[in-house]
A and B are shown apart, each in its own frame.
Chain A
């Protein structure tokens, strides 16, 4: 039981972060009712003015004219590379059929318009289609508290039923986003999204896609130095992947699949059919987590495979809960520490139909003698018959001297579990409370 309590204790910053975010959402709603900040996308090409981009002048108006005109020109708007970069004081709206190429530096001025609310330095217009924002330049939020990098989702960062996506066919590729007071990227309600090769760092939140975004591929991301979650799939994200990416130094979670029902939203939207594959997540509060708040829609169909999660403050990979999910072919090690004892490599909590197979887990619980391999638990009243948690073919061991791990596998309440074909090193305990009908057939490694 101790590991449950410790897990809750270290999870508080995450909860706190959510509260902060709900407050931000509320502020965003209020800003929207106050009239917002956006002009509508023009129906004819505006007169284009040339930005100064000397690092001092406010280039907002000129850059906006270039971006609006891009649709009508049929050519991308190029944010130029200049000696000292361009400066903006308000969001740049990106409309349908527009490509922006970020060649140089785009930095927010400290006089950023507070009324810009939750909008990003690039704000993809509501309902926009076929938008590309790419390049090898840098988008710098100057640590202004209200600023995000690239957003889509309208004034409220929305609540979009999946049948009516906000934006469609959006590509964000290649740039670096840093020093954001909020999200480097926050995309809501978007169908057909690709975020590729982006670096996000030194910001309050991380890269977040949410609110019924679907068909999203997040790949080749480098995310670090984030106070919240480095990458988050939030509320109703479906048919999406996070792959080939590196997350480190995340104050909350490395990769988070999270569902809740914020105040003011009528229904909870489940995350489902997601793949988290081939990533390395380290030195964060938690490595990879699928979670939802009590009473909201539970995530389903999440495949977590071929990742490495190591040196995280608490556990490596956790689903709590996740139904019809699998955790396969991952490697976890060196998760948990003296401040967070009884942490496992893999945690399955309150979940149904979960397969945990072919993972290598070793040397967990650094600085303690309480490290754990795989933990399955149910808060109450116990994992029911039919829950079908299947733990097969994993290798769990501690080859250190002195050892830091106490248990290979465990849970606090009697559970109907199939635990077969796992091997774990001598001295580690299997302390599952195997309920009637369980199958247990494991091996000690010599």
Chain B
């Protein structure tokens, strides 16, 4: 209690209380030593892996320079330990040299959403980088955390995704973020963001950029063993690129432009102008003895009451292979480009497709190679196109909320041009190169089909469709 009184007097109550402080100007360096002495048990972070360093690290973050605060997380044998979030203010550069691990954190009630680093609302010019590790201490990634949760690096207000929150000019580079009981990254409301060279693994939820974030570059990401989508542009992201990244063993999908109806939050927000370029998404583990397989590769998902969806997504020059279901999907999506990709060996689910278009409007599928789909079956599909089915209302368990009944979405203006479909497996697994669920209005031209188990083209062509200039390869 004495300790709490002291920190209250020093205006540091949010550290102990778990509430986020406002982004006020930091105190000059001269106050740092005095603040440490007054507010915290130790004059500096101990970083022996046992002592709780939260207070000392927070004071160092708070008592920096108005123009630029630099905090180095030292490399020590057992790392630094925190039991609560570290709140990051404007003009801060965190250099993560060593291990920062979380233990002893108690989830407050009512809950606020925080991360091991929480970027305060309204902040700007923040860099968190280094070769060190954030370790959330969650033992098994596929098991939800009891009492829930702490993210890795987050922004977006106490509830995450709160309207009007804005953080500008953020760079996150080079860290490993692991064993996080919630999101390795959940960066909401961030404008002008670069995430480069980050590894996220063995965590419960996605590495996500979401909720009105815009002007986003994600490059060189490695994400694996995630019990959700490995990486997601989640609800209302605009002008965003993910490239040169590798995701695998993703239980909810590899890379997704995703919009849903979250409990207690309300209707979906949709993303637009997203480039997914030159990535690899694969399902099966690269580690010997690990049989986990990811669900899906790359996709666009989300639907509103009036048929609104995510818009303007480009999938170019990616590889998507060995997923349980589809390689690349727009289910549904509006204004799309799927070009120059390679998909293969989707399987386990019967009728798994290399490319799956449900309720796609204005989508070009061109120059892709799709082969050996349906691994372990004789039902593999090259490309499936059809209507996204209507769905009934689904009650959600909290807040009295529900996902409302959503309409069916038909396919419009889909062109399937110049793709190559073949099965080269010793035991053939592909049933059809192209198939539709019902009659669809499509242009199918310039494609090449090698022999399949069934006929190459099983599309039911709707009125006005074109099916021309395709070739069978001997």
Contact = CB atoms under 8 A, between A and B. Distances in A.
Contacts of B415: 395, 423, 443, 445
B459 to A, nearest CB: 13
Contacts of B469: 421, 441
Chain A contact surface mostly:
strand
Contacts of B316: 278, 305-306, 329
B194 A197 contact: yes
A359 B469 CA distance: 19
Interface of B: 28-29, 64-70, 93, 125, 127, 129, 169, 171, 173, 192, 194, 196, 215-217, 219, 239-241, 243-244, 273, 275, 277-278, 312, 314, 316-317, 335-337, 339-340, 361-364, 366-367, 412-415, 417-418, 441-443, 445-446, 462-466, 468-469
26 contacts: A81-B67, A83-B65, A84-B65, A84-B66, A105-B68, A136-B171, A197-B171, A197-B194, A197-B196, A220-B217, A222-B217, A246-B217, A280-B241, A305-B316, A307-B275, A310-B273, A329-B340, A331-B314, A357-B367, A362-B335, A395-B337, A395-B366, A399-B362, A441-B469, A443-B415, A446-B464
A313 to B, nearest CB: 17
B417 A393 contact: yes
A105 B317 contact: no
Contacts of B441: 445-446
A109 interface: no
Nearest to B366: A358
A423 B413 CA distance: 9
Contacts of B93: 81, 103, 136-137
B418 A393 contact: yes
Contacts of A215: none
Nearest to B337: A360
A123 interface: no
Pairs of residues from A and B, 3 with the lowest C-beta to C-beta distance, nearest first: A446-B464, A446-B441, A395-B364
A49 interface: no
Interface in A194-220: 197, 199, 219-220
A370 interface: no
A423 B127 CA distance: 46
Name, among B219, B317, B415, the residue most crowded by chain A CB atoms within 10 Å (CB to CB): B415
A285 to B, nearest CB: 18
Given A222-B217, A305-B316, A395-B417, 7 more contacts: A81-B70, A104-B65, A328-B339, A329-B339, A421-B418, A421-B446, A423-B415
A269 interface: no
Nearest to B462: A446
A418 to B, nearest CB: 13
Name, among A81, A333, A426, the residue most crowded by chain B CB atoms within 10 Å (CB to CB): A81
Contact of A329 (B66, B317, B362, B412): B317
A209 to B, nearest CB: 19
B239 A55 contact: no
A277 B277 contact: yes
A373 to B, nearest CB: 12
Contacts of B413: 395, 397, 399, 425, 445-446
A394 B418 CA distance: 10
A149 interface: no
A245 B462 contact: no
A344 interface: no
Contacts of A245: 217
A421 B419 CA distance: 12
A374 to B, nearest CB: 13
Contacts of A103: 68, 70, 93
A420 to B, nearest CB: 8
A222 B215 contact: yes
Contacts of B366: 329, 357-358, 393, 395
A241 B197 CA distance: 19
Contacts of A331: 312, 314, 335, 337
Name, among A82, A279, A280, A362, the residue most crowded by chain B CB atoms within 10 Å (CB to CB): A280
B67 A220 contact: no
B194 A220 contact: yes
A222 B219 CA distance: 13
Contacts of B68: 81-82, 85, 103-105, 137-138
Contacts of B335: 331, 333, 360, 362
A402 B306 CA distance: 19
Contacts of A357: 366-367, 418
Interface string A398-415: 010000000000000000
A57 to B, nearest CB: 14
B443 A445 contact: yes
Contacts of B65: 81-84, 104
Contacts of B243: 243-244, 278
A176 B125 contact: yes
A75 interface: no
A195 B466 CA distance: 47
Contacts of A329: 314, 316-317, 337, 339-340, 366-367
A57 B240 CA distance: 41
Nearest to A83: B65
Contact of A136 (B129, B312, B468): B129
A331 B362 CA distance: 12
A289 interface: no
Interface in A138-188: 138, 174, 176
A105 B275 CA distance: 33
A246 B316 CA distance: 17
